[in-house]
Structure 1
Amino acid sequence: MTTGTDLLALDRQLCYALAVASRSVIGVYKPILEPLGLTHPQYLVMLALWEREPRSLGDLAAALRLEPATLSPLVKRLEAAGLVTRARSASDERQLAVQLTPEGRRLRDRAEQVPSQVVEALGVDVEELLELQARLTAIIGRIAPVPASAS
C-alpha cells in the first residue's frame, strides 16, 4: 500500500534521487571525456592535479574522498597514458608524489571545453546547476567534511 505520505515510496527517497541523478550525469560525461582519453574517475584525478601539483597519493585520495586503494589503479592508468608521473617525494620518502607530465598539463586546455559541453548536454539552466552544486557541496560539507590534508 502506497500513498502520497508513504515514507518508503521509492520516489520519496533521497538515496534513489541521488543515485539516479549521479548515474545520469556521469553518463553525460562519458562521450565528452572519451576524446580526451579519460574516464570520469580519471577526469576527477586530473581536475585535482590541475588545481595543485605535485600531490601525495594520500592528499589526492582525501581531496577526491576515495580510498588510496581505489585511487592507486586510476593513477597507474593515467601514468601509463603518459599524463602523470608517480615518484617518491623528495621531502618524505614515505610519500608517493603524483604530478602532471607536460602532456597532462596540455590536456587541461582541451578539458576547459568539458563544463560547457556538459551543461549543453544536460539541457539545464547554468544557474540551476550552480545552485544544485552549491547545495550538494554544503550538504557534503556537513556530513563528510574534507579532511585537513586535502584542504
Structure 2
Amino acid sequence: MITDLVCGVDPKVSAVRCPVCGAPGKPVKPATIKNIVKESHQPGSPEGFHLCLSETCEVVYFGPEILKKDALKEKVWFKETDPEVPVCYCKGVSAKDIMDHLTVMGCCHNLQDIQRHTGANTGRECLTKNPAGT
C-alpha cells in the first residue's frame, strides 16, 4: 500500500476505510475535489471526501459519493503504472522525467539535485493540482 508515500498516513490509525476495497482513506479538502474532479462528475457537495490509498482500487475519492478514476481530470500517480503520469503535479514532473535526470543525463545524485533540475516538490499548488491535495 502507498500509505507511507502519501503524507505519512498510517493505516493502523486511519479509521475511515474505502467502502469498495477496505483500504485506509486520507481526508481531502473541498478545494481539491472542486479542482481535480471533472465538471460532469462534481458531487453535490465537495465536503467529507477521502482519498482511497490502495494502488489497485478504481475508487479515488469516497465519502458522500464514490468517485472513480474516470471522474478525474488527472491520473493519480500511485494508481497508475505509466511513468509519464506526474508525481509532482505543480511542476508537471513525471517519474520518467526524474529517471531521465538520474540515468540518462546523470545530473542528479540526491533530492536537492532532482528538485533543482526538474522543479519537483517545489511548487505551492498541491491543494488544487495534486489529487492527494498535498
TM-score after normalising by structure 2:
0.28
From the CA coordinates, give the structure whose radius of gyration is larger.
1
TM-score after normalising by structure 1:
0.26
Higher strand residue share: 2
Higher helix residue share: 1
